[in-house]
């Protein structure tokens, strides 16, 4: 049981002690374990009833008197072939031939001398452990290992260890990972589709870009033509207004009135002239539908003949 489990795994610990078996269900994960529940069984034949139908791994813990524990010290140089070195010493440290025992070891460097390996060897005779292997097999309980109480080793050879619930846990984690991947794919579907739509839109924009540029160019030309048309229209209206002003002046001015100057600019007409009565000229112009805001822009003066000299401005009424 000294291997670190990187997946949560439930294990039945079956400890042989006294007249009954102490059974504990523990959760192992990352080198730590937590007891989930405890129970007991009178003997190995009752384990199937005590544990029920279970896929969890079982681990057998025998009393210290059921085996042999020895402490050895070897040079650190032998650690690359430590298993072979210890195999040659099993008979010497346990008084049983190596082929008649199950064994395992813990190796660590000595604290006071890093060149020395401190090795703890746990040995259990086959005559002790084989009946338990057969009992677990008859009860159809997967026995993953065995050890003596207080030692974190597994003397059961790998070829004899039964399957573990770890395989099921790994499968469960793989399925969970697949579900997670599907969930992430579902979450990422919308951004991916939006990216795809954006790519399609960019393609359509690229196709329409020449037409849009042509329309923009035509729009610019149309605006230029519109401005030119409006300018010509203003000139035409100004010309018509100027003609209307001259025509009106020629018809409404009194017979004794003579114009000396005429100026037209921005819908405003400025005239100067001589008349018997400048006020009569102003009154006549105000009554026309063409002029509005008729006013003198300079004082009225009299010449040697007694006539008024005047200068006045007026606006041409804009037609709707």
Domains in the chain (CATH in brackets) are: 9-163 (3.30.420.380), 238-316 (3.30.1360.100)
Tens of each residue's pLDDT in the chain, 320 residues: 555 455 677 888 888 877 788 888 888 777 677 888 888 888 878 887 887 777 788 889 999 899 999 988 888 888 788 888 888 888 888 888 889 999 999 988 877 888 888 889 999 999 999 998 988 888 888 888 999 998 989 999 888 887 644 444 555 567 667 778 877 777 766 676 777 777 788 888 888 888 888 888 888 888 888 888 777 666 655 557 888 888 888 889 998 999 999 998 888 999 999 999 999 999 999 989 889 899 999 999 998 888 999 999 999 876 55
Give me the pLDDT at residue 192, please.
Answer: 67
Q: Give the Cα separation of 98 and 92 in Å (integer).
A: 9
SS3 102: strand
Determine the pLDDT at residue 233. 66
């Amino acid at each position: 049981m000294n291997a670190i489990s990187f997946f949560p795994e439930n294990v039945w610990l079956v400890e042989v002690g006294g007249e009954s078996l102490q059974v504990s269900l523990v959760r192992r994960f990352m080198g730590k374990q937590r007891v989930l529940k405890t129970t007991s069984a009178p003997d190995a034949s009752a384990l199937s009833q005590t544990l029920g139908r279970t896929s969890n791994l079982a681990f057998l813990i025998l009393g210290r008197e059921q085996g042999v524990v020895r402490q050895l010290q070897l040079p650190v140089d032998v650690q690359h072939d430590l298993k072979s070195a210890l195999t040659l010493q099993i008979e010497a440290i346990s008084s049983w031939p190596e082929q008649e025992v199950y064994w395992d070891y813990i190796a660590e460097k000595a604290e006071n001398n890093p060149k020395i390996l401190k090795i703890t060897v746990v040995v259990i005779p086959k005559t002790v452990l084989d009946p338990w292997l057969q009992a677990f097999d008859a009860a159809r309980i997967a026995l993953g290992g065995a050890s003596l109480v207080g030692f974190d080793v597994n003397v059961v050879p790998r070829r004899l260890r039964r399957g573990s619930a770890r395989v099921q846990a790994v499968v469960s984690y793989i399925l969970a990972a697949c579900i997670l991947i599907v969930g992430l794919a579902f979450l990422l579907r919308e951004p991916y589709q939006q990216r795809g739509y954006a790519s399609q839109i960019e393609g359509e924009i690229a196709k329409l870009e020449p037409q849009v540029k042509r329309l923009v160019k035509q729009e610019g030309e149309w605006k230029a033509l519109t401005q030119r048309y409006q300018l010509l229209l203003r000139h035409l209206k100004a010309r018509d207004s100027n003609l209307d002003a001259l025509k009106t002046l020629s018809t409404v001015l009194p017979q004794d009135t003579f114009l000396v100057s005429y100026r037209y600019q921005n819908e405003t007409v400025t005239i100067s002239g001589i008349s018997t009565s400048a006020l009569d000229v102003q009154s006549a112009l105000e009554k026309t539908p063409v002029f509005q805001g008729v006013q003198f822009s300079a004082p009225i003066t009299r010449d040697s003949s007694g006539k008024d000299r005047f200068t006045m401005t007026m606006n041409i009424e804009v037609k709707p």
